[in-house]
Structure 1
Amino acid sequence: MTEQGEATTTVTTTTTTTKVQIHHTRIMLPDFLQTINLKHVKLGYHYLISNLFTLCLLPLIIITLIQVSKTDFHYLWLHLQYNLLTILTCSAFLVFGLTVFAFTRPRVIYLLDYSCFRPADNLKAPFRSFMEHSRLTGDFDESSLEFQRKILMRAGLGEETYVPEAMHSVPPRPSMTAARAEAKEVMFGALDNLFQNTKLKPKDIGILVVNCSLFNPTPSLSAMIVNKYKLRGNILSFNLGGMGCSAGVIAVDLAKDLLQVHRNTYAVVVSTENITQNWYFGKKKSMLIPNCLFRVGCSAVLLSNKSSDRKRAKYRLVHVVRTHCGADDKAFRCVYQEQDDAGKTGVSLSKDLMAIAGGALKTNITTLGPLVLPISEQLLFFTTLLMKLFKADVKPYIPDFKLALDHFCIHAGGRAVIDELEKNLQLLPVHVEASRMTLHRFGNTSSSSIWYELAYMEAKWRIRKGNMVWQIAFGSGFKCNSAVWEALCNVNPSPNGPWHDCIDKYPVDLAI
């Protein structure tokens, strides 16, 4: 009897458990299905709209093939024999049209390789050394020192960023000679590595574009490079100044336009900023911020318009979109080089900077969106725009750029800039990882920062063939510029890259 009772109890318990499990399944199933529906309905919508043309064309192709199969080809051949003149005329027009197209179509611009300068370890500026050095200069009061300390702690920079050699001296030595030495060290360092990696002879360069916003000596920085590498006498040389942190994209755009005209040649774009003569030694807080953000850096990029270079190229340039908001007075003055009340020169950052940057970004992506976004996203955006015009109470639709772009190189201007773009573009932490880590390791290197970010992604082996990379930068004026590249292969990191001996340490936890 006891054994039977125990058996009965076991069965009852098992049945009860089964009922509970079924009960829980019935409760959770609708939520699960709802999640599946929301996710897959949108994916299905994007797939349907993106392939709508193919789906509509397929029935026409089938009907055409059926009709062709019924055609009497012998009769067709006899008909063509008696219309030889028509055939020759059509053929001539076809050959002429193809020839015109071949000679007038835009040349494809290839990025063969690039190099980012890595300063020597003795130029590192840990927070403690930075603050102690600032105190020893005697130019800052306690309020200014405390302000700089707070900026350093919150800006997203790490302990291994670099400042130029002249700033390590006590007192600092911001002379023209020291500024020239900094410019030569970073530019020649990046170029030497680029020439070594690509095996390119300097004499083969036909176009040289250099951009540096705040340091523009005579002879120019581009002339320094021509003199150093003994570049040929007919080289097209350009030196861009005063164009801010987005000048790297502007320089690429200029090189692209020149490569459309001058065929079968190479262009080198050098992007840098000079800190030595632009350190601020005053007490105005809006002008102290650049001291805490900007650090030493430089990039050198090799571009080509030769079709034979496609096999060895890393990327091809797809789009460049430039937005200039300088017509607005607030935008024009939000990043402004001036003198304070004591006559000391520095760059002042306006409190309206983030709002102005947001407006410039909105204009830029409105132009870029139709060029890169799938038609499904464009329809959703256009629909909400029409509803807004008719006074409908709907939120503006933010296009999902992740559907068209795989990697994002956001200018490492500061933690606030990266946070704002991550929020506005609805990006995931992995999409802004390269920007945050570049800011942490190298600081704000101005126009070259987007190349340090791309180097980070390559060092992490994330760039695969067909991936689309979006570089976006902001600069004084006020400007927002974008460049979109397509990877032509599974991209390997270049030798002696800026991350080659430290990539395993990243990403690091940036929680304050």
Structure 2
Amino acid sequence: MKSANNGVEILQSRRLPDFSPSVKLKYVKLGYHYLISHLPTLCLVPLMSVIIVEASRLSLDDIHELWLQLEYNLVSVILFCSVLVVVSTVYFMSRKRSVYLVDFSCYLPPSHLKIKHDYFMEYCKSETAFDESSLEFLRKIMERSGLGEETSAPETLRSIPPRAPTIADARQEAELVMFGALDKLFANTNVKPRDVGILVVNCSIFNPTPSWSAMIINKYKMRSNIKSFNLAGMGCSAGVIAVDLAKDMLRVHRNSYAVVFSTENMTYNWYSGTKKSMLISNCLFRLGGAAVLLSNKSADRKRSKYELSHVVRTHMGANDKAFKCVQQEQDDDGKTGVSLSKDLMAIAGDALKTNITTLGPLVLPVSEQLLFFVTLVAKRLFNAKIKPYIPDFKLAFEHFCIHAGGRAVIDELEKNLQLLPVHVEASRMTLHRFGNTSSSSIWYELAYMEAKGRMRKGDRVWQIAFGSGFKCNSAVWLALNNVKPSATNPWKDCIHRYPVKLML
């Protein structure tokens, strides 16, 4: 009896394979993807077999006869070789030049600028414009925001009682973040500012005269023929737009460096009114910025971290609801702020669908494209009650940098793209540690992955960002090496504490 019980215990302790329908379907799908991915190779095997068999039948006399025919047709051979050389030359001269990401640097605020939740609420209570209803709303938003206790804010938003921000305050914040990131970038890459031929800067809210780009040129004494651009009012997705502009410029100007700097200004982004749709941004936006060095020099490939594969931009501005869902405006009391529509998540979802419709064929394996096409045809032609097939983007990318605009944004994309928790970890941790740093958040997320040692040679990264207008923009990068974190990685001193457990 005892031995029988022991036998039952042994059987129960053994982990039997799971043959449930969902698991079987998973393996069928994996087999399908493997078959389609290797179909060209499988088709070539019989062809190569036939060629080898036929070649083995050739005698030495047959080979000698072929050689004689080539000798007597020397003019044809020379003509063919000449055409081949010309075509090859035209191809190599006209092909698009690769754009490399040499390195990037994210601004790390000093510890004295950290703003804990309790201090944030104390600052809000000292703001005479807020009533009890506004304070309660801000408290609830902070509790659900996904922000931790280590996010940072500029000096103007730390002074109690609050004081009216000035242009000088906004400039001070701009210089702190901008030069903090750029100093580290130039130090990490050993590139001199005068060697930079293209400069692109983006900030939505604060746009002084002289511009941000002029401030950088003045600080670093850059050359007079530099191609500089200043992007304004384009929202949190402007970082990808700036990269796209720099890419286009690099494909025109050979042997050049381009610097892209992305940020947002909190000093001019604070709303001191009572309209709830305009109060949300007070809770989410925090201090941050990122500087990126791009190059089109083939010699820089070995030392670069990534190569830019694709940029896909989607603009939904023709739709009135999309156009107005994120809008800077004044409330009834004349207070300026950014209003977020209740339709924001639905509009973001539509923009994402449009974006991935263009991106999908560029990055997805043929097996996924076939499934998507067959489902679409069945739905259109036969009016079949079939749910639209959502491509598995995990087969196209190893890493995802989803704009840390808020917990709801990350949750929605995790659900819609059927991602795993590890795929959105960098986004959640960036939101927790640094808050919503607008267009630079996707760079803090990439820095997180590097600090974790997850970026291997050949890995593909998808940066997704949303912005006012309404826009959804994507950038795809290919890791050229096993990427190591830079010496100034913003996660360097705290990465051992992450990921942290977040309250739901």
Q: Deviations over 1:450-508 (max 9, x none)?
A: 00000001000010111100000000000000001010111000112111111111111
Counterpart-to-counterpart distance in 2, 1:92 and 1:132 = 78
Counterpart-to-counterpart distance in 1, 2:350 and 2:65 = 66
Q: Is the 8 A contact 1:167 1:173 kept in 2?
A: no
Q: Is the 8 A contact 2:97 2:296 kept in 1?
A: yes
Counterpart-to-counterpart distance in 2, 1:16 and 1:212 = 71
Does residue 1:454 correspond to 2:441, yes or no? no
Does residue 1:363 correspond to 2:354, yes or no? yes
**Residue type of the alignment partner of 2:456:** R
Q: Is the 8 A contact 2:426 2:445 kept in 1?
A: yes
With over 3 angstroms needed to count, the CA separation of the structure-2 counterparts of 1:21 and 1:35, relative to structure 1, is farther
Counterpart-to-counterpart distance in 2, 1:454 and 1:316 = 14
Does residue 1:32 correspond to 2:22, yes or no? no
1:231 match = 222
With over 3 angstroms needed to count, the CA separation of the structure-2 counterparts of 1:500 and 1:16, relative to structure 1, is closer
RMSD of aligned Cα (Å): 1.8
- Which sits farther off after the overlay, 129-138 or 461-470? 129-138
1:70 match = 57
- Larger Cα-atom Rg: 1
Counterpart-to-counterpart distance in 2, 1:469 and 1:30 = 33
Does residue 1:507 correspond to 2:499, yes or no? yes
2:260 match = 269
Q: How far is the alpha carbon of 1:75 from its aligned partner?
A: 1.2
Q: How far is the alpha carbon of 1:173 from its aligned partner?
A: 3.8
Q: Of the candidates 46, 52, 61, which is equivalent to residue 33 of structure 2?
A: 46
Counterpart-to-counterpart distance in 2, 1:339 and 1:20 = 71
Q: Is the 8 A contact 1:118 1:498 kept in 2?
A: yes
Runs of at least 5 residues in structure 1 that lack an aligned partner in the other structure: 1-9
With over 3 angstroms needed to count, the CA separation of the structure-2 counterparts of 1:33 and 1:216, relative to structure 1, is closer
1:7 match = none
Q: Of the candidates 158, 161, 186, which is equivalent to residue 151 of structure 2?
A: 161
1:353 match = 344
SS in 1 for 2:311: strand
Q: Is the 8 A contact 1:50 1:375 kept in 2?
A: yes
SS in 2 for 1:281: coil
Q: Is the 8 A contact 1:116 1:298 kept in 2?
A: yes
Does residue 1:445 correspond to 2:432, yes or no? no
Mapping of residues 97-112 of structure 1, within 5 Å: 97-112=87-102
Q: Is the 8 A contact 2:156 2:162 kept in 1?
A: no
With over 3 angstroms needed to count, the CA separation of the structure-2 counterparts of 1:215 and 1:15, relative to structure 1, is closer
1:3 match = none
Counterpart-to-counterpart distance in 1, 2:194 and 2:444 = 27
**Residue type of the alignment partner of 1:219:** P
With over 3 angstroms needed to count, the CA separation of the structure-2 counterparts of 1:305 and 1:30, relative to structure 1, is closer
1:318 match = 309
Q: How far is the alpha carbon of 1:40 from its aligned partner?
A: 2.1
Q: Is the 8 A contact 2:452 2:495 kept in 1?
A: yes
Does residue 1:426 correspond to 2:418, yes or no? yes
Counterpart-to-counterpart distance in 1, 2:9 and 2:145 = 53
1:397 match = 389
Identity, % of aligned pairs? 69
Counterpart-to-counterpart distance in 2, 1:40 and 1:218 = 60
Does residue 1:260 correspond to 2:254, yes or no? no
Q: How far is the alpha carbon of 1:172 from its aligned partner?
A: 2.6
SS in 2 for 1:234: coil
Q: How far is the alpha carbon of 1:171 from its aligned partner?
A: 2.1
Mapping of residues 297-336 of structure 1, within 5 Å: 297-336=288-327
Counterpart-to-counterpart distance in 1, 2:152 and 2:287 = 6
SS in 1 for 2:317: coil
Counterpart-to-counterpart distance in 2, 1:20 and 1:134 = 61
Q: Deviations over 1:89-139 (max 9, x none)?
A: 111100000000001111111101000001111111111111111111212
Q: Is the 8 A contact 1:338 1:345 kept in 2?
A: yes
**Residue type of the alignment partner of 1:307:** S
SS in 1 for 2:268: helix
Q: Deviations over 1:147-189 (max 9, x none)?
A: 1111011011111111111111222341001111111111111
**Residue type of the alignment partner of 1:461:** G
Counterpart-to-counterpart distance in 1, 2:201 and 2:64 = 66
Does residue 1:214 correspond to 2:201, yes or no? no
Q: How far is the alpha carbon of 1:63 from its aligned partner?
A: 1.5
- Which sits farther off after the overlay, 409-418 or 72-81? 72-81
Q: How far is the alpha carbon of 1:66 from its aligned partner?
A: 2.6
Q: Of the candidates 373, 376, 394, which is equivalent to residue 382 of structure 1?
A: 373
SS in 2 for 1:356: helix
Mapping of residues 481-496 of structure 1, within 5 Å: 481-496=473-488
1:6 match = none
Counterpart-to-counterpart distance in 2, 1:140 and 1:155 = 20
With over 3 angstroms needed to count, the CA separation of the structure-2 counterparts of 1:149 and 1:29, relative to structure 1, is closer
**TM-score (norm. length: structure 2):** 0.96
**Residue type of the alignment partner of 2:265:** N
- Which sits farther off after the overlay, 471-480 or 65-74? 65-74
Counterpart-to-counterpart distance in 1, 2:17 and 2:494 = 48
1:82 match = 72
Runs of at least 5 residues in structure 2 that lack an aligned partner in the other structure: none
Does residue 1:474 correspond to 2:466, yes or no? yes
Counterpart-to-counterpart distance in 2, 1:20 and 1:191 = 64
Counterpart-to-counterpart distance in 1, 2:17 and 2:207 = 66
With over 3 angstroms needed to count, the CA separation of the structure-2 counterparts of 1:217 and 1:15, relative to structure 1, is closer
Q: How far is the alpha carbon of 1:70 from its aligned partner?
A: 3.2
Q: Deviations over 1:51-101 (max 9, x none)?
A: 111111221122223323333221111111110110111111000000000
Counterpart-to-counterpart distance in 1, 2:220 and 2:456 = 34
Q: How far is the alpha carbon of 1:39 from its aligned partner?
A: 2.8
Counterpart-to-counterpart distance in 1, 2:240 and 2:5 = 68
Does residue 1:146 correspond to 2:136, yes or no? yes
SS in 2 for 1:162: coil
Q: Which stretches of structure 1, 4 residues or longer, exceed 4 Å deviation after superposition?
A: 15-22, 28-31, 33-36
Q: Of the candidates 175, 180, 183, which is equivalent to residue 192 of structure 1?
A: 183
SS in 1 for 2:301: helix
Q: Is the 8 A contact 2:197 2:258 kept in 1?
A: yes
Counterpart-to-counterpart distance in 1, 2:347 and 2:321 = 8
**Residue type of the alignment partner of 1:487:** A
Q: Is the 8 A contact 2:401 2:446 kept in 1?
A: yes
Q: Is the 8 A contact 1:137 1:172 kept in 2?
A: no
Counterpart-to-counterpart distance in 2, 1:455 and 1:429 = 18
**Residue type of the alignment partner of 2:485:** P
Q: Is the 8 A contact 1:222 1:239 kept in 2?
A: yes
SS in 1 for 2:19: helix
